[in-house]
Amino acid sequence: MTLENAEKYADILGVSVQKVMFQNPPTPIIGESFITKDGLIERNYYSKWTTGVQIAAYLGDDLAAVKWTADPEYTGEWYEYRDAIAFFLRHPVVEKIVHPGCIEHVSIIRLKDEIKLPGRSPTHLVGGVLYPEPGRRYTVHSAKLGIHLKGLEVEWATPYCSVIFRPDLRGVTYVDIESQDCGCDDCSNS
């Protein structure tokens, strides 16, 4: 198809030329974060990725998403995350690396060992700012979560890229995708 023809089709359909010329692949949803009535965040990471996010903008091929939900009675400081979609780089999760963009930036982090935070279920997943320590260990800090954890071994970490707080206003749809395996034997529901 020529650019001239693409422009004509785009005009007829009322969409951008990019929409006519390029496929916009869905971004896989790799997990969920649920805010309880009491403000605790329960995180689940899926071992199989079967649902994707489709939006009217090209996001690239290296993103993954986490869908946020909240108890209907929750009214705390995480209120803006109710029904939000957070986007992260996908390759650090698949390759099991700590991306350099995580250092001193908000990230989602999978710890090698499960931890128990006060008032929370044991988890491998935490969100926060990552700081390197000697000996390939890390500190995770989150003022909002009230955590400052030192000496942690990290399986992977991926930086937040963006968040859509109002997917209903951005034309977001959820689509089934061909099942993708994260490549991890023990990460289901962690």
Q: What is the mean pLDDT of the chain?
A: 87
Query: What's the average model confidence in pLDDT over 150-179?
Result: 92
Per-residue pLDDT band for 69 (boundaries 50, 70, 90) equals: very high
The contacts of residue 5 (CB under 8 Å, 6+ apart) are none
pLDDT digit string, tens, across residues 74-102: 999 889 999 999 999 999 999 999 999 99
Tell me how crowded residue 6 is: count the other CB atoms within 10 A of its CB: 17
pLDDT digit string, tens, across residues 54-63: 887 767 778 9
Residue 118 CB-half CA count within 13 A: 5
pTM: 0.79
Q: In angstroms, how far is CA 147 from the centroid of its own chain?
A: 20
Give the pLDDT score at 187. Answer: 46
Q: Sign of the C-alpha dihedral, residues 51, 57, 60, 62?
A: negative
